[in-house]
Structure formats: structure tokens, C-alpha cells
Amino acid sequence: MSQTSQPDPAKLAAARAAVALVQDGMKLGLGTGSTAAIMVQVLAERVKAEGLSLRMAATSKATAQQAEGLGLKIESLDELGWLDLTIDGADEVDPDLHLIKGGGGAHLREKVVAAASDRMVVIADPGKVVDQLGAFALPVEVLQFGFESSRKLIRRALHGLGLGDHDVLQRLRGSDPWITDEGNFILDLPLGAIDDPVRLARALSSIPGVVEHGLFLGMCDLAIIGKGDGSVVELNRNADVDADLLAGEGVGAV
């Protein structure tokens, strides 16, 4: 790779395996985050080496800027119409390939792009693989208008689900509110464990003022988990994860 600093070997392995799935003529969605950034770099190198003809949409302004700086042409999702494949990272991946995303604050666009794709492939290091979602704080994007009312309604919904003892924290960038590409605020919910992600997703989506949450349920088709030795493990839905395959890689409860 042409980056001055060496990327994490596990993330690089996952990125390379995902980019190997790309075929000439595809329409691609490019994810956001540290692992996705490595993937964009690997993809740009392959496009240059092989002369691939691809059309691409980005899930954030940051990804679009990176891709264009590497010589990739980014178009709007509406221009592309529908995507063959989206490659993105995740903050948590469970055995059903349910995800928590949004650590980079782009989960709204990421979900829109993933939903407009035939296939979503997630790339991650072993530390993102968990038995149960929730250790990573769940991001919820909310309108600036009526922000405190939305936060109060989220607290009320959590209470109704037996999660009322957890905080609802506004994400900051330094001392200022974190503002997403769509001009919204983000609330982070440090829930510890999510026993029923479907029920929680439904409750959050029903709240006026909530634009989108970071639960990606039933959207991921394949998770490619890179390891420090350069190998990868591919996880399909309901996969029986062999702990030995990921041993020593910083996996939580797998």
C-alpha cells in the first residue's frame, strides 16, 4: 500500500478479501470508518492496476473526499440507481450478522446505501465480533429541532424496555455538538447489552425526531473478519464461530 503508515494487518486482510469480490462493471457503495478507509485505498490500487470500470457512491463526505483524492469517481446514489455491492465496516457484529454501526457518525447514509444494494459485505477485525450487541454505545441520529424532546422520548422508550437506568449522551466533537453530514445531532446509548435488538429498533424508529439508529438488522450478507496473520474468517448468518480461529485476536465473547 502507498500509505506512509502501515495499516492494521487484520483490517488490511479483511479489506483485501472484500475488494477481491469486486468485479469489473459493478456499482459499489463505499463505507465509512477506519477499516473502510483501508478498503478504499486497496480498491483504488486495484482499479489503477487492472483498469476496472466501476461506478461508486460514498456513505459520507469523508469517504467521498478520500476516494476522489485517490482517483476514484464518486457519484450520487440517485445517479447510480441501485448498487451491486456495498462494503462497509462495523462497530459490532453478532452471530446473526446483526450490526451496530455509527461510531464514525455516518450510519444514516450507510444504512441508506446498504439498503439500496443487492449485497452488503462487512469488514472488521476480530475485536468487533461479539456474542451479543450492546457493549459499543448505540448511536442514534436525531434532528436538532426538538433535540431535548427527542432525548426525553428516547429515555422513556428505554425505560419501557427495561433499559431506563442507562444514560442518553450527546456526542461531542471537542466541546461542540457532533453534527452529521445531514446536519443532525447524535445521541449515544451505552446499553451494555441488547437482549432484543428488533424490539429496540422498532421503539427507536417510532420516535418523532429520531432520524436513524445504528442497529443494522438483517442487512449484512457476509462478514469478513481479518486476522493479524493476514488470513480471514468469513461469517455467514447463524454461523457457528470457531473461537480457535479467532483466538488471540482480541475477540470478546465469541
* Selection from 21, 211, 20 nearest residue 117 by Cα: 21
Segments of the chain with pLDDT less than 70: 1-4, 238-254
Name the CA dihedral angle for 112, 118, 121, 122, rounded to a multiple of 10 degrees: 20
Q: Give the fold, CATH level 3, of 138-211.
A: Alpha-Beta Plaits (3.30.70)
In the numeric block, the cell 446505501 is attached to 113
Mutual angle of helices 147-160 and 197-205, in 10-degree steps: 150
| Domain definitions of the chain by residue range | 9-128+218-237, 138-211
> Residues at the annotated binding site?
32-35, 88-91, 101-104, 128
State how far the Cα of 17 lies from the Cα of 233, in Å rounded to an integer: 10
pTM, whole model, 2 decimals? 0.92
pLDDT, position 164: 82
pLDDT, position 252: 36
**Cβ neighbours of residue 120 closer than 8 Å, sequence gap 6 or more:** 29, 85, 86, 88, 114, 219, 220, 221, 222
State how far the Cα of 113 lies from the Cα of 79, in Å rounded to an integer: 13
Catalytic annotation, residues: 110
pLDDT, position 121: 98
Q: Which architecture does CATH list for 9-128+218-237?
A: 3-Layer(aba) Sandwich (3.40)
pLDDT, position 5: 73
Q: What is the pLDDT of residues 203-221, one digit of tens each?
A: 999 999 999 999 999 999 9
What Cα–Cα distance (Å) separates residue 210 from each residue in 71, 99, 204? 36, 19, 7
In the numeric block, the cell 449522551 is attached to 169
State how far the Cα of 36 lies from the Cα of 98, in Å rounded to an integer: 18
pLDDT, position 107: 98
> Residues at the annotated binding site for substrate?
32-35, 88-91, 101-104, 128
Mutual angle of helices 61-69 and 34-50, in 10-degree steps: 30
Mutual angle of helices 34-50 and 9-19, in 10-degree steps: 50
